[in-house]
Amino acid sequence: MNSKSYKVKEIISDALELPKDITLDLPKVIILGTDSVSIENHKGIISYKDDQIRINTSCGILTITGSKLVIKSIIQEEIIITGKIVNIEYR
């Protein structure tokens, strides 16, 4: 995160107005209401429980809490999680 190359990349993408999720490999989290979350640029699942899913990303572990969480689809670029979502945090 604090490496030199990261900062250079950030400056360049700011200057050229390039989307950071592509240039910096940052996760893009889209929350659709309370029942669907999609995470692009993830780095794999850390833990999966019915009420909590932890997903590794380049800027920390994303924790989604809720109930009846289902991984609707998982590919290398994107995870789609459905269910009743209560909380999303980096922890």
Partner 1 sequence: MLILRIWNYLRGYAIIVVKGIKIERFINLAVVNNIYLWDIEKIDYATIKAKISSSDFFKLKSIVKKTDSNIQIIEKCGMPFKIKKMKKRKWFVVGLAILLISIYILSSYIWMIEIYGLKNIDEQVVIENLSHAGLKIGMRKKKINKRKVENKLLIRMPELTWVGVEMKGTKAFIKVVEKGPEPQLINKDEPCDIVASKNGVIEKILVLNGDGMVKDGDTVKKNQLLVSGTIIRNNLPERYVHSMAEVHARTWYEDVEEIPYEQIEYKKSGRVHKTYSLEIVSRKFERDKKIPYEDYNKIEKEIYIFNFGSYVFPIKLIITQYEELVSTTKIISEEEAKTICEERLNAKIKLQIPEDAVILNQRIEYFPNEKSLIGKIYVEVLEDIGVKVRIK
Of 15-23, 29-37, 46-54, 57-65: span binding partner 1 (CB under 8 A): 46-54
Q: Using the rule CB under 8 A, is 46 a contact of partner 1?
A: yes
Consecutive H or E run containing 44: none
Beta-bridged to residue 56, according to DSSP, are 61
Minimum distance, C-beta of residue 66 to partner 1, in the bound complex (Å): 12
Residue 37 interacts with partner 1 (CB under 8 A): yes or no: no
For residues 22 and 12, what is the distance between their CA atoms, to the nearest angstrom?
Answer: 12
Contacts with partner 1 by CB under 8 A lie at: 44-50, 69-76, 80
